[in-house]
Structure 1
Amino acid sequence: MSSALKHIQTENAPKAIGPYSQAIVANGLVYTAGQIPFDPATMQIVGEGDIKAQTRQAIKNLSAVLTAANASLSSVVKTTVFLKNMNDFNDMNSIYSELFGDARPARSAVEVARLPRDVLVEIECVAVVSNH
């Protein structure tokens, strides 16, 4: 693997449950793995059946990974939101809007047949890494 790639690992987000990294930094950008609503301490689902609670936890986990990569929600340029049910879009969007605030990254939102551990939402992103 190229030395130009930096693997990101933080205990403040759920550990990878497969052969992948929480994120990779390359060429000034951080590419995150999809974050699902696990409590990093227990690796248990947060907000069983509650799209708002699950979205909040997924974004909290995403933020922790970004912080470990020297980035933040405000430096995100693109997100992809995977929803188990597109009928949850408005509730997901209300929490997403609250947590991203004035940062308005480009976004795709798609309904998928199934997500890990049957969670309701998974979110991944690409963000700019700070030079500081």
Structure 2
Amino acid sequence: MSQEFNSEKAPEPVGLYPHARKVGDLLFLSGVGPRERNTKKIPGVTLGENGEIVAYDIEEQCRSVFKNVRLILEASGSSWDKLVDVTVFLTNMKDDFATYNKIYAEYFADNQPCRTTVEINCLPTPIAIELKCVATL
């Protein structure tokens, strides 16, 4: 038996999936990026005329992603301190890892879930970071 959750504050999913799904005592979050709800604005991203990324600020994107994860956790009956596993997708490990790792350490100083960080070629929207999380309820 499972239950789906969607946050009224986090950005809308870009496909046919919920923000999170509860299975037993675990909460599985779909991929979460830095977009803002009800807008095309992506914090930390400057787009060109053709929608291509002209510039981005990985620190601003990290903070926005972490905010969105927190919103989904809270809407689903969990919380930041109950995260147990985080998978991070970066589109530019070479240039962004140090900044991302510094911001990550700020947000996870008290709770240190398991973590995997991988570099990928691109994400479905013009963003540089996405998180996939598992939490307890």
Q: How high is the TM-score relative to the length of structure 2? A: 0.88
Structure 1 pair 63/43, CA: closer, same or farther in 2 (3 Å)?
farther
Structure 1 residue runs of 5 or longer lacking an equivalent are none
Match in the other structure for 1:37 = 34
Structure 1 pair 62/56, CA: closer, same or farther in 2 (3 Å)?
same
Matching of residues 45-56 of structure 1 within 5 Å: 45-48=42-45, 49-56=56-63
Q: Is the 8 A contact 1:80 1:108 kept in 2?
A: yes
Aligned mate of 1:86, from 84, 93, 106: 93
Aligned mate of 2:131, from 123, 128, 131: 123
Match in the other structure for 2:119 = 111
Give the ranges of 4+ consecutive aligned residues of structure 1 lying more than 4 Å apart after TM superposition. Answer: none
Secondary structure of 1:79's counterpart equals: strand
- Cα offset, 1:116, TM superposition: 2.0
Task: State the AA in 1 paired with 2:26.
Answer: L
Structure 2 residue runs of 5 or longer lacking an equivalent are 46-55
- Cα offset, 1:101, TM superposition: 2.2
Q: Is the 8 A contact 2:12 2:38 kept in 1?
A: no
How far apart are the structure 2 equivalents of 1:101 and 1:8? 27
Secondary structure of 1:116's counterpart equals: coil
Task: State the AA in 2 paired with 1:23.
Answer: A
Q: Is the 8 A contact 1:62 1:124 kept in 2?
A: no
